A and B are shown apart, each in its own frame.
Chain A
Amino acid sequence: MRALAQIWQRHDLGKWIIGLIILLLLALPLLQYIPSEETLVTNLLLFSFTQMFMLVTLASNWNLTGGFTGYVDFGHAVFFGLGAYGTGIVMAKAGWPFVPALVVGAIVSAVFALLIGGATLRLKGPYFSIAMLGTLVAMREIVRVSRPLTGGGAGLTLPPYLNRPLFYYITLVLAILVVLFIRWLRQTEFGASLIAIREDEVGAEMRGINTTRHKITIFIIAAFSSGIVGGLWAYQNTFIDPDIVFLPARTVEMVMMTMLGGLGTVAGPVIGAATIYWLRDVVWANFLDYHLIMQGLLLILIVLFVPEGIMGTLGDRSGTTVGRLWGKYISPAREGTTQAEVNP
């Protein structure tokens, strides 16, 4: 195992493997065009991947406020919903083409984030979480009663456009861009300041960080990106109504995926979203009524045994049993991160 770890580190295999996975994902829809007796890649498979890419993006966005900044947002689905409705309304009612409509949806989300964030981001901890959950529910009802604009509870039908490979590529590229963006952001002073806010907001402010501006900026960025996902989802689904887009369970999903992968890590939401999506759709789906029980059980197991998630546990090897075992047998800590002579 150690030898493997050494080879891994020397050749930076992680990067190659990520590159390979991306190449395979890029090539996947092309398999459709290989003539063969059986269909190698069904539209359903592409659809499943599209869903997964959207979830990766949503979980990554949620991680920006919930993971990096420490503001656990139980209403993040409101930005997904506003993106869906923003895009849907200008397409269905005004007849706009998709791309400008998508931008409108994302901007609607971002502007709403600016307005609501100015108020809710003053709250701390559970108060913020509950205020955002309230925002989500309130927005769902507002959309439901604004019948002339939104179609109300009966929903809104978008011009149908069935092109699975196209949605596949758009969502894949979006997910890659968002993850790369977060990876870059993490290395800037802005990214580090977000973590400082999470660790100690009063201290961060005293040390010169304009915490309000940082929080609102990241909130808007996350909302914009989730708005894009919402717009894509609406167009791909061709039908939206308040109950399917402003779904509290969607936020729970983002929270769970991020927690499994690792709060405040770049790769965490990606791993978490992929794991939970395939577990749910491939494994749990066979258990019908029990799949929610399994989902709940998984959440409990995460909190008990890998509270810092997969990436968090691998990053901080000393904190948990799993992390210690990993550090001892599989991948020793890098130089410079060794434990010094310090008090517990």
Chain B
Amino acid sequence: MTGNGQQPLLEGRGVSKYFGGLAALSDVDFAVYSGEVMGLIGPNGSGKTTLFDCLSRVQEISDGQVFFKGKEITNKKSYQVAHMGLARTFQVIRVYRKMTVLDNMLLSRQWGGQGMLQIFRPSQQRTKKRAHELAKFLLLDHVIDEKAGNLSGGQQRLLEIGMALMPNPDLILLDEATSGVNPTLIETIKDRIRELNEKEHKTFLLIEHNIHFIADLCSRVVVLDYGQKLAEGTPAEIMENEAVIEAYFGAYGEGENDSEA
């Protein structure tokens, strides 16, 4: 599904981000099409997370434009983008550690048609039902009343995915969803992403260092290096691309890298 002639769900045009004199991203053109699972890879410090931050409006964009569902979101705030149906997780886990798993999920609920006054009431039954369903789907139902800070790293990753899924978004950006997660849970995450993509037609954009994860799930991969787009193609094409191999210095053969500067 490369979407020939189809309008992209999320599109970046010439996205650049400078930190002082450092160009973290320079002129990245980029498109995610509805219904696909796309991978974003690159060596540490290549600008993957910065690109995520720019796309999800956590950081200001220095130059360029971002479109979501055909509307420009370059100057929108991240809560507005969330209301439009874009959700993400973070590389450094961001769950509300002092709240229970259930409360974490309830706070990331459906946004459509929420007026200012509607938030002055307890969570609705419908929202609670969805939170319980998602907790079950992500194997978190037995810890649903536990404080999120007491969960294991892997469980917190799953919870973050659950929080991202709560509002029923169309596009989900997952930033290293498998880092620090044991192999069994990685399989679970993989199955869940595949299931959501196939059954509910959710679109995913994944940052990953785990090349097998990418190869199994993604139909298309974009490679970033030094803030520039180095290559784009199917996982098989990417793995044979010499520029990519050079950028990684063969490092992808080791399987996974956990940290990124």
Contact = CB atoms under 8 A, between A and B. Distances in A.
B122 A187 contact: yes
B78 A205 contact: yes
B123 interface: yes
Contacts of B82: 205-208
Given A200-B94, A342-B150, A207 B99 contact: no
A343 interface: yes
A260 interface: no
Interface in B72-130: 77-79, 82-83, 87-88, 90, 94-99, 103, 106-109, 111, 116, 119-123
B211 interface: no
Interface string A93-136: 00000000000000000000000000000000000000000000
Contacts of A199: 96-99
A192 interface: yes
A211 interface: yes
Contacts of A202: 58, 78, 94
Given A203-B90, A208-B108, A342 B146 contact: yes
B122 A206 contact: no
Contacts, number: 100
A210 B79 contact: yes
Interface stretch (B151-159, B198-206, B212-220, B253-261): B151-159
Interface string A263-286: 000000000000000000000000
Contact of B120 (A188, A196, A200, A203): A188
Contact of A203 (B96, B145, B153, B167): B96
Given A195-B99, A336-B145, A211 B94 contact: no
A190 B167 CA distance: 17
Interface residues of B, number: 42
Contact of B96 (A187, A195, A211): A195
A340 B108 contact: no
A209 interface: yes
Which of A189, A192, A193, A336 has the most C-beta atoms of chain B within 10 angstroms of its own C-beta? A189
Contact of A193 (B119, B151, B152, B153): B119
B230 interface: no
Interface in A210-254: 210-211, 213
A206 B142 contact: no
Nearest to B94: A203
Nearest to A337: B145
Interface string B216-234: 0000000000000000000
A211 B79 contact: yes
A196 B78 contact: no
A163 interface: no
Contacts of A196: 96, 99, 107
B152 A343 contact: yes
A128 to B, nearest CB: 19
A339 interface: yes
B142 to A, nearest CB: 7
B155 A192 contact: no
A188 B119 contact: yes
B88 A343 contact: no
Given A189-B123, A192-B106, 17 more contacts: A187-B122, A188-B121, A189-B106, A189-B121, A189-B122, A190-B119, A192-B123, A199-B97, A200-B94, A202-B94, A203-B90, A203-B95, A206-B79, A209-B79, A340-B142, A340-B150, A343-B151
28 contacts: A188-B120, A189-B106, A189-B107, A189-B119, A189-B121, A195-B98, A195-B99, A196-B96, A196-B99, A199-B96, A199-B97, A199-B99, A202-B78, A202-B94, A205-B78, A206-B58, A206-B78, A206-B82, A207-B87, A207-B163, A207-B167, A208-B111, A209-B79, A213-B116, A337-B145, A339-B150, A342-B151, A343-B151
Interface of A: 185, 187-190, 192-193, 195-196, 199-200, 202-211, 213, 316, 336-337, 339-340, 342-343
Q: Which 3 A-B pairs have the closest CB atoms?
A: A203-B94, A208-B82, A343-B152
